[in-house]
């Protein structure tokens, strides 16, 4: 939230409901929103803040592995045991950030895309939304401006010597301005979010959440 002023009684649930506008855009369950208030911050400053949170809390994979391993211990003798995501994920992920002290206190980890199919159309591993407008209220015909900030580019794999028209490695931070409720596909935030809801990491996180609830674990 980089808008100049945000009221102290900000209602994140109400804001999310207005943003989604009753659209069905989930793979399973609801999105989890985290709001950070950085009035007047630039995209680079928002990325730096996000990376600081990521360094402190780590990625979601630590928690996905933990809950899956606990689930399998409980159901070791039954057919309900599931594959360990630590074994199923693609190799070569030594660059996955390790969690810090905050993660041990139960705060959820951040997305960390591992499969190339999840960044195929964007070529960026991480993203965040910058909310730009001063007004945070949603009316029936009211729309707002959001900037999708993508960062941590991934190299495009192509034939040797092939010419790449647009190389994300030359653009470490990429900005896309969108209207939240636009009906134009390339400008619609909710369609961008819907695409992410079908990602591999989303499915793993949703499954792990179901296992955690069955185990009686409580969400933060």
Separation of alpha carbons 80 and 62, rounded Å: 21
Position 181 scores a pLDDT of 73
Range 132-161 average pLDDT: 80
Position 203 scores a pLDDT of 82
Contact between 195 and 113 (Cβ < 8 Å): no
User: Which pTM value belongs to this model?
Assistant: 0.80
Position 92 scores a pLDDT of 40
More confident residue, 107 or 28: 107
3-state class (DSSP) for residue 159: coil
Q: Is 110 exposed, middle or buried (0-12, 13-18, 19+ CB in 10 A)?
A: buried
Position 37 scores a pLDDT of 92
Contact between 130 and 149 (Cβ < 8 Å): yes
Nearest in space to 155 (alpha carbons), one of 143, 171, 144: 171
Position 91 scores a pLDDT of 39
pLDDT value at 115 more than 50? yes
Separation of alpha carbons 112 and 97, rounded Å: 9
**Ramachandran area for residue 123 (φ above 0: left; ψ -120 to 50: alpha; else beta):** left
Q: Is 1 exposed, middle or buried (0-12, 13-18, 19+ CB in 10 A)?
A: buried
Position 49 scores a pLDDT of 95
Length of the chain (residues): 220
Range 89-100 average pLDDT: 55
To the nearest 10°, report the CA torsion of 50, 32, 13, 1: 20
Strand order in the sheet with 124-131: 124-131, 145-153, 173-179
The percentage of residues in the chain with a pLDDT greater than 90, rounded to a whole number, is 15
The mean-pLDDT minimum among 73-82, 94-103, 179-188 falls in 94-103
């Amino acid at each position: 939230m980089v808008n100049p002023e945000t009221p102290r009684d900000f209602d994140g649930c109400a804001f999310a409901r207005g943003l989604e506008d009753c659209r069905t855009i989930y793979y399973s369950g609801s999105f989890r929103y985290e709001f950070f208030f950085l009035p007047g911050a630039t995209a680079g400053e928002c990325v730096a803040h996000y990376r600081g949170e990521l360094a402190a809390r780590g990625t979601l994979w630590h928690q996905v592995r933990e809950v899956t391993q606990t689930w399998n211990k409980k159901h070791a003798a039954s057919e309900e045991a599931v594959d360990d995501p630590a074994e199923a994920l693609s190799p070569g992920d030594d660059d996955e950030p390790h969690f810090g002290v905050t993660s041990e206190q139960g705060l959820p980890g951040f997305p960390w895309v591992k499969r190339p199919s999840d960044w195929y159309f964007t070529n960026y591993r991480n993203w965040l939304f910058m909310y730009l407008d001063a007004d945070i209220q949603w009316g029936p015909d009211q729309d707002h401006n959001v900037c999708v900030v993508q960062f941590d580019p991934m190299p495009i794999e192509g034939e040797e010597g092939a010419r790449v028209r647009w190389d994300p490695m030359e653009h470490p931070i990429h900005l896309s301005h969108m209207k939240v409720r636009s009906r134009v596909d390339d400008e619609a935030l909710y369609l961008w979010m819907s695409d992410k809801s079908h990602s591999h990491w989303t499915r793993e996180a949703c499954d792990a959440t179901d296992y955690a609830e069955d185990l009686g674990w409580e969400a933060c």
